[in-house]
Amino acid sequence: MPDPVSTIPNLGPASEAAFARAGIHTAEEIRALGADQAYLKLLKAGTRPHFIGYYVLVMGLQGRPWNDCRGDEKKALRARFDALKAQVVTLPEKEKDRAQMEAVLDEIGLRPRGPET
């Protein structure tokens, strides 16, 4: 049986729910993706960027306490975090909600598709 997300140190039920919304359901999936790709999936699924949430994940995957991140290591993680944020185009909430609703309507076939190219 696969390990739940919450078996990764520093991650609890809220992290588990956020990862599930991003389509990640096990600790093994997070480990296989690595911290950056897993966090990027969270952002793309609509999770608001939060630096502490990112470095908590990094520390957890290393088996370290969340507050073990300091100095130059923390600065380097901040640069990685900022680079991840830059990969995700953020829309105002109303536009994001509309885009998500339209994607669902397209997926279930309730909107006509345009001509194939």
Instruction: Note the pLDDT tens digit of each residue in 35-58.
Output: 999 999 999 998 999 999 999 999
Q: How many CB atoms lie within 10 A of CB 58?
A: 21
**Cα 15 to the center of its chain, rounded Å:** 9
Pick left, alpha or beta for residue 10 (phi over 0 → left; psi -120 to 50 → alpha; otherwise beta). Answer: left
State which of 78-82, 86-90, 108-112 shows the largest mean pLDDT. Answer: 78-82
**Which two structure tokens, joined as six digits, stand for 38?**
């897993």
Residue 80 · residue 43 · CB < 8 Å: no
Q: Which of 70-79, 91-100, 103-112 has the lowest mean pLDDT?
A: 91-100
Looking at domain 5-88, which of 3.40.50.20, 1.10.150.120, 1.20.120.420, 1.10.150.20 is its CATH number? Answer: 1.10.150.20
Report the candidate in 65, 51, 49, 47 with the shortest Cα–Cα distance to residue 11: 65
pTM: predicted TM-score of the whole model, two decimal places: 0.75
